[in-house]
């Protein structure tokens, strides 16, 4: 929407300050209850979901209410990692881990398991529904008295809540393979038993369709494509220079990448995915030749993608925490082997063995030795702990989407469009490995925008600046033999390229709560083939065939790679 400025900016800003103070007090009370109420390491308390009073009565509370939704998003960040990566190829429990962690790891029955309980995901959905309901109530009450600036940001906040709800349902689909869908504002999940309108979605595809509907159709004529102008909202007198809370915008799942992931899950709109990711990368490269580029600088950047708030060279969307505002996650506490951390999870020998000797991710960026054991140090690189005096002081960032995702999604779309030279280039040595100077656009599929993959900063003499050297090439880790793949028929070739991308994703996105979901997405694409997962996961186990039988066993129409958890509805 076009931005229009109004004259009562100071009054609006004062209202926002009041709303933030109110929200901060509520947040402190909620966090105190959460901390004092925990009796178990992974205990989930869903009784007190959200204050269902009419908490939006001023435009400042539009903003503070949205922060309440973001705190629910923060609560699912590390849970997703503990639940999915523990069943993947890269993480295993330590001797300090409680029984519930071992049950997740061994694909045991997880009914009643607090880690497997999807309650936090539904807490987040309930918060989104409640927020959306109160926002539209507020808009109806204010009517034509809502200022133009407030209305524009109203659209942005509604879109943000829709994206968070859509992302949450997609996560439920990729983890559980089923979900309960509802739009009604309720205060507790148990109310679904007492007459709330809900629909049981019984497959990943059904859930992804709902997620896409939330993105495209939205609610009350507002879809998820609008962006929140944080500076215009929080500092209307100096909107372009506002620096107070820019990081909150990173916590809203990026519209383009979220919709791309949904489309890839549904195996549709590959041309749209290609167009969006190619344009996104081309614009970024033209604007700044450092950001999102995969080149010989990339290995040195991995170590700072995760252990600080956000990194502009790689971050697209991330769940960000701020200890000073009582926001933390448990990643460092559970991964580190230095007191006061708990050291509950560690990288597997098998997972670490897959990294090449010269791969920077395996040379300290993702895992390293600490106090005589191996630790996952992706989220606290170099052990420069700010939290040594207290395990709650870490501010590790959990990626939702980052620059690498754009490259992976573009390669996947090109693959399914039959553009295998482009997919191969992105996966291996980059466009630079095909064209050292100018992209030949007379060749099929080579869009002129691929020229920005060679350089965005022009030519110095005859040398292009920062050429993109591809997913594998930027890490000196070329490992895919295409000599046999390229002779296959179309269907087999497409699947082989998908599997090559998947294997690279397992290395790149380890312990981010996302690579296991990509395995499930790929398995779903190929008729639910459980071997896509079991072949990649089972080698880490001492009894691989036992785990294979659990993954490949089908119960009630769902393979064992989904978490089976009955909500009792």
| Predicted local distance difference test score (pLDDT) of residue 480 | 76
Q: What pLDDT digit, counting tens, does each position of 395-433 carry? A: 788 999 999 999 999 999 999 999 999 999 999 999 999
| Residue owning tokens 């870490």 | 394
| Residue owning tokens 């090109």 | 414
Tokens of 559: 């393979």
The proportion of the chain whose per-residue pLDDT surpasses 90, expressed as a percent, equals 56
Overall average pLDDT of the 548-561 stretch: 95
Q: How far apart are CA 565 and CA 56, in angstroms?
A: 35
Q: Which residues pair with 460 in a beta bridge?
A: 463
| Predicted local distance difference test score (pLDDT) of residue 475 | 85
| Predicted local distance difference test score (pLDDT) of residue 386 | 47
Q: How far apart are CA 421 and CA 404, in angstroms?
A: 19
| Predicted local distance difference test score (pLDDT) of residue 436 | 84
Q: How far apart are CA 293 and CA 404, in angstroms?
A: 8
Distance of CA 164 to CAs 217, 331, 338, Å? 15, 22, 34
Q: For 114-118, 145-149, 376-380, which range has the lowest pLDDT when averaged over its residues?
A: 145-149
Overall average pLDDT of the 341-351 stretch: 95
Distance of CA 372 to CAs 338, 342, 388, 397, 479, Å? 11, 15, 18, 26, 31
Q: What pLDDT digit, counting tens, does each position of 12-62 carry? A: 333 333 333 333 333 323 333 232 333 344 443 444 333 334 445 566 778
Q: What is the DSSP string of 172-205?
A: HHHHHS-EEE--S--SSGGGGGGT---EEE-SHH
| Residue partners of 384: CB distance under 8 A and separation at least 6 | none
Q: What pLDDT digit, counting tens, does each position of 135-168 carry? A: 999 988 888 888 777 888 899 999 999 999 999 9
Tell me the HSE value of 472 on the side-chain side, using a 13 A CA sphere. Answer: 22
CB contact at 8 A, 130 and 50: yes
Torsion sign, CA atoms 516, 294, 384, 350 = positive
Q: Tell me the three state secondary structure of residue 401.
A: strand
* pTM, to two decimals: 0.88
| Predicted local distance difference test score (pLDDT) of residue 244 | 53
CB contact at 8 A, 94 and 41: no
Phi, psi dihedrals of residue 358, rounded to the nearest 5°: -100, 15
| Predicted local distance difference test score (pLDDT) of residue 504 | 95
Give the long-range contacts of residues 439-447, CB within 8 A, separation 24 or more: 444/419, 445/414, 445/417, 445/419, 445/421, 446/421, 446/422, 447/278
**Local structure of residue 435 (DSSP, 8 states):** -
Tell me the HSE value of 56 on the side-chain side, using a 13 A CA sphere. Answer: 23
Tell me the HSE value of 507 on the side-chain side, using a 13 A CA sphere. Answer: 23
Q: For 108-122, 312-326, 407-421, which range has the lowest pLDDT when averaged over its residues?
A: 312-326
| Predicted local distance difference test score (pLDDT) of residue 284 | 93
Name the pLDDT band for 461 (thresholds 50, 70, 90): low
Q: Is residue 549 packed enough to be buried (19+ CB in 10 Å), middle (13-18) or exposed (0-12)?
A: middle
Q: For 49-53, 435-439, 515-519, which range has the lowest pLDDT when averaged over its residues?
A: 49-53
Query: Which uninterrupted H or E stretch holds 373?
Result: strand 373-376
Overall average pLDDT of the 198-221 stretch: 96
| Predicted local distance difference test score (pLDDT) of residue 394 | 58
| Residue owning tokens 């901060």 | 24
CB contact at 8 A, 519 and 536: yes
Q: How far apart are CA 349 and CA 540, in angstroms?
A: 7
CB contact at 8 A, 104 and 114: no
SS (H, E, C) 334-357: HHCCCCCCCCCEEECHHHHHCCCC
| Predicted local distance difference test score (pLDDT) of residue 33 | 28
pLDDT over 70 at 349, yes or no: yes
Helices marked H in 85-203 = 99-105, 119-142, 148-176
Cβ count within 10 A of residue 200: 11
Torsion sign, CA atoms 116, 117, 121, 124 = negative
Phi, psi dihedrals of residue 143, rounded to the nearest 5°: 60, -135
CB contact at 8 A, 343 and 334: yes
pLDDT over 60 at 203, yes or no: yes
Q: What is the DSSP string of 206-254?
A: HHHHHHHHHHHT-BTTB-TT----HHHHH-TTSTTT--SSGGGGGGSPP
When the pLDDT of each residue in the chain is averaged and rounded to a whole number, the result is 83
Q: What pLDDT digit, counting tens, does each position of 237-280 carry? A: 776 665 555 577 788 999 999 999 999 999 999 999 999 999 99
Q: What pLDDT digit, counting tens, does each position of 226-237 carry? A: 998 777 776 777
| Predicted local distance difference test score (pLDDT) of residue 144 | 80
CB contact at 8 A, 474 and 299: yes
Tokens of 56: 């939006």
Q: What is the largest CA-CA distance in the chain?
A: 72
């Amino acid at each position: 929407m076009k931005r229009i400025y109004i004259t009562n900016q100071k009054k609006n800003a004062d209202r926002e300050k009041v709303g933030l103070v109110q929200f901060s007090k509520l947040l402190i009370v909620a966090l105190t209850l959460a901390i004092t109420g925990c009796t178990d390491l992974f205990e989930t308390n869903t009784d007190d979901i959200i204050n269902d009073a009419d908490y939006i009565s001023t435009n400042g509370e539009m903003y503070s209410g949205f922060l309440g939704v973001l705190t629910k998003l923060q609560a699912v960040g590390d849970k997703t990692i503990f639940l999915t990566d523990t069943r993947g190829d890269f993480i295993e429990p330590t001797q300090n881990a409680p029984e519930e962690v071992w049950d997740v790891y061994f694909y045991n029955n997880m009914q009643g398991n607090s880690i497997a309980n999807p309650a936090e995901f539904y807490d987040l959905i309930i918060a989104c529904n409640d927020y959306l309901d109160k926002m539209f109530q507020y808009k109806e009450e204010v009517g034509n008295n809502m200022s133009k600036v407030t209305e524009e940001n109203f659209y942005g906040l509604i879109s943000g809540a829709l994206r968070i709800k859509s992302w949450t349902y997609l996560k439920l689909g990729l983890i559980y393979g089923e979900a309960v869908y509802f739009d009604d504002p309720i205060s507790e999940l148990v109310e679904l038993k007492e007459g709330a309108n809900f629909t049981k979605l019984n497959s990943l595809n059904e859930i992804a369709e709902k997620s896409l509907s939330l993105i495209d159709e939205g609610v009350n004529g507002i879809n998820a494509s609008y962006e929140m102008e944080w500076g215009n909202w929080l500092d209307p007198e100096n909107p372009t220079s506002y620096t107070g809370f820019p990081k909150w915008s990173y916590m809203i799942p990026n519209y383009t990448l979220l919709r791309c992931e949904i489309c890839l899950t549904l195996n549709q709109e590959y041309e749209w995915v290609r167009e969006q990711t190619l344009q996104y990368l081309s614009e970024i490269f033209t604007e700044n030749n450092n950001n999102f580029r995969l080149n010989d600088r990339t290995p040195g950047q991995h170590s700072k993608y995760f252990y600080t708030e956000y990194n502009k060279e790689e971050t697209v969307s991330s769940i960000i925490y701020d200890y000073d505002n009582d926001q933390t996650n448990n990643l460092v506490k559970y991964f580190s082997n230095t007191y006061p951390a708990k050291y509950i999870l560690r990288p597997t020998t098998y997972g670490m063995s897959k990294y090449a000797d010269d791969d920077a991710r395996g040379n300290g960026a993702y895992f390293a030795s600490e106090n005589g054991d191996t630790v996952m140090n992706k989220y606290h690189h170099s052990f420069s702990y700010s939290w040594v005096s207290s395990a709650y002081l870490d501010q590790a960032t959990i990626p939702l989407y980052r620059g690498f995702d754009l490259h992976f999604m573009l390669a996947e779309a090109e693959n399914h469009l039959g553009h295998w030279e482009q997919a191969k280039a992105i996966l291996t040595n980059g466009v630079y490995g095909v064209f050292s100077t100018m992209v030949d656009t007379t060749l099929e599929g080579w869009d002129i925008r691929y020229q920005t993959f060679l350089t965005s900063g022009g030519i110095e003499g005859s040398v292009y600046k920062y050429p993109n050297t591809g997913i594998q090439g930027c890490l000196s880790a070329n490992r895919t033999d295409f000599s046999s793949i390229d002779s296959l028929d179309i269907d087999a070739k497409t699947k082989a390229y998908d599997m090559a991308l998947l294997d690279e994703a397992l290395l790149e996105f380890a312990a981010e709560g996302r690579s296991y979901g990509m395995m499930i997405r790929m398995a779903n694409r190929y008729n639910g083939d459980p071997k896509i997962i079991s072949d990649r996961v089972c080698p880490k186990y001492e009894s691989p065939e036992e785990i294979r039988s659990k993954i490949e066993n089908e119960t009630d129409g769902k393979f064992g790679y989904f978490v089976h958890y009955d909500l009792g509805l």
